[in-house]
Amino acid sequence: MKLRSLVIALGLLVALTYGALAIVLVRLSANNASGQADFTAKEAYPVAQEAAQAWQGDAQLVSANASWRDLKPEELLEEEVSWGFTFFSPQARSIRIFSVTPEGAQGVESIEATPNTRVADVGLWQVDSPQVLTLFLDHGGRDFLAQNPGATVSLRLGPAEGSEPLVWLAFGISSANRSTLTVQVDPSSGEVKTASP
């Protein structure tokens, strides 16, 4: 009789232990999922590209953009954001901007292309947005955000003003005192090319 009670008690103890372990694992995975925004530029791009191809079959990427406002450094890496992708159609001589969220893509504006419109060399794109945000924070961004609460941080992937076919630009702007910080990152290697206020 005592042996049977002992076996039942051990069985209950094992069941409770595995149940508690399962709860801990589910909570840990949920924390990991919310610990870093999982809708990155690279994940948003195929959604944008599909919408752009439906708009014009010859659509090519010009740039990708996103902005965050009034966040602490650790929140910057966790906050999910919508992405703006700009595409150019040489045949239509038109530019179309798409807003992309985890729910899908939506065209928001079409404008006439200019002769200066340059497309991005997407083949050079290896480094994703979370890495660029981390580099921004590591190269002055943490101090910038601490000194400028309410500042806006923006990312832009696209051709550079000069002859470079593709760069990541991360920049912080404070409207309160007009402070700025710009970090330029090589999208192929993740090398920080410049960091300047």
Query: pLDDT for 100-141, tens place per residue?
Result: 999 999 999 999 999 999 999 999 999 999 999 999 999 999
pLDDT surpasses 90 at 97: yes
d(CA 8, CA 6): 5
> How confident is the prediction for the chain on average, in pLDDT?
84
Q: Stretch 18-28: mean pLDDT, rounded? A: 31
Per-residue pLDDT tens for 142-174?
Answer: 999 999 999 999 999 999 888 889 999 999 999
* Short-list 83, 90, 104, 57, CA closest to 156: 83
pLDDT surpasses 70 at 22: no
pLDDT surpasses 60 at 7: no
The pLDDT of residue 23: 30
pLDDT surpasses 80 at 9: no
Task: Name the band, by pLDDT with cuts 50, 70 and 90, for residue 37.
Answer: low
The pLDDT of residue 39: 86
- Domain residue spans in the chain? 1-35, 41-196
The pLDDT of residue 194: 93
Buried b (16+ CB within 10 A) or exposed e, 32-70: eeeeebebbbeebbebbbebbeebbeebbbbbbbbebee
Task: Name the band, by pLDDT with cuts 50, 70 and 90, for residue 34.
Answer: very low
The pLDDT of residue 14: 32
Q: Stretch 3-21: mean pLDDT, rounded? A: 36
The answer for residues whose C-beta is within 8 angstroms of residue 104's C-beta and 6 or more apart is 47, 51
Q: Residues of the chain with pLDDT > 70: what percent?
A: 81
Q: Stretch 59-75: mean pLDDT, rounded? A: 95
pLDDT surpasses 80 at 25: no
The pLDDT of residue 161: 81
The mean-pLDDT minimum among 8-17, 88-97, 132-141 falls in 8-17
